[in-house]
Structure 1
């Protein structure tokens, strides 16, 4: 009888651990309305990250990672504060889209001739009112930068799991895990994932998969089978 009771307790404990782990690994659904921002507004800003990519001069950039930073305390869809794209090709290996966007925002917020004219201290405080959108889930370096900046929200498109499955080199630590381990930091950020993946995936899944269609305006050709503009 005692053995049966112990086994029952072990089974219940295992079920509790499984349920708890499942809940802890759950993030907000992409169609959620959070902080009074609806899903169509979220889609608008994730879609803009793709448009920022296209503004770089090619419809199929290889390192197709971009971010936009938005003030949702402004009326309507919110106010675009700054953008950033992956600029590793400039020689800075840490200049991912999110880092570039944060740097650009810092410069814009503190520009004495710009629209905000904030002091450095007030610029640091301003990040707590801003949301960072990126077309793909941030690497742990960028997710950590998002937490250190103290953003109100962080929203991404294509997941890091999908990037790994499609051949991208990644440090295999999810944004959720970075956020989970950053509880000592102030300004807890909301995390919303896999928004508009039907539009972000096409820019990120062709690079290492020769069977994946090229983005619109591009085609495969030559010995490399890479997508190039047509």
Structure 2
């Protein structure tokens, strides 16, 4: 097993108060940055999966995922789903050479950061993966206020609804981290707000185009 994972079968528990808010905000920022495929992307939802059990105060990046709906035509490839899938593929590759059982167990050491609260599908995936921590930025309620169509079911409700599941719920569920940065990323897209720097408003709702090229 790679050195970014603890070698003991029961690694130290990672509680919210042991990790500085600055580190939490750093990873939400990375999730936001990851989703910026060009200066003014639509649906820029991004996630990073991090290991906070290695002794590195900042945490160690394991894998990432960004919304791939428009690129792949797959409506289930939200940022969280892509990140979990990417981690799974990485764990059983030559980089880690884990067995499927080891891959499943590895998630119990990891933290998922996502720049927006997970939809019910992704929240269920977070719970099924058995992730140690789940941290998000802007909430579903705030996305709705910004004009986004959402399933109005909170991720904490989904995560806490498991019955007869052997794995425990995440040790830490924390929302609102890096909220203002994430709100800026999503605010202009559906509510008709100001476009990001380097972009100008197009003809459609949520249509901001790079000034330099005039096309997305």
Tell me the TM-score normalized by structure 2. 0.85
Query: What residue number does 1:193 align with?
Result: 175
1:227 is the counterpart of 2:208: yes
Q: Separation in 2 of the partners of 1:217 and 1:182?
A: 45
Query: What residue number does 2:4 align with?
Result: none
Q: Deviation digits for residues 4-59 of structure 1, max 9, x if unmatched?
A: xxxxxxxxxxxxxxxxxxxxxxxxxxxxx7161110000010000111122x2x12
1:76 is the counterpart of 2:57: yes
How much does 1:219 deviate? 2.0
1:85 is the counterpart of 2:66: yes
1:207 is the counterpart of 2:192: no
Asked if the contact 1:158–1:201 (Cα under 8 Å) also holds between the matched residues in 2, the reply is yes
Q: Separation in 1 of the partners of 2:173 and 2:208?
A: 32
Instruction: Please give the secondary structure, in 2, of the residue aligned with 1:69.
Output: strand
Asked if the contact 2:160–2:169 (Cα under 8 Å) also holds between the matched residues in 1, the reply is no
Instruction: Please give the secondary structure, in 1, of the residue aligned with 2:39.
Output: coil
Instruction: Please give the secondary structure, in 1, of the residue aligned with 2:65.
Output: strand
How much does 1:172 deviate? 1.2
Q: Deviation digits for residues 34-86 of structure 1, max 9, x if unmatched?
A: 161110000010000111122x2x12210110000000112131110000001
How much does 1:183 deviate? 5.0
Query: What residue number does 1:107 align with?
Result: 89
Query: What residue number does 1:180 align with?
Result: 160
- In structure 1, the gaps of 5 or more residues are 1-32
Q: Separation in 1 of the partners of 2:52 and 2:40?
A: 30
Which of 139, 147, 150 lines up with 1:159 in the alignment? 139
What is the aligned length?
192
Which of 96-105 and 165-174 deviates more?
Answer: 165-174
More helix by share: 1
Asked if the contact 2:47–2:65 (Cα under 8 Å) also holds between the matched residues in 1, the reply is yes
Q: Separation in 2 of the partners of 1:145 and 1:229?
A: 34
Query: What residue number does 1:133 align with?
Result: 113
Tell me the TM-score normalized by structure 1. 0.80
- In structure 2, the gaps of 5 or more residues are 1-14, 212-216
Q: Deviation digits for residues 90-135 of structure 1, max 9, x if unmatched?
A: 11111100000000000111102x1x22111001000000000000
Q: Separation in 1 of the partners of 2:103 and 2:73?
A: 27
Aligned Cα RMSD in Å? 1.4
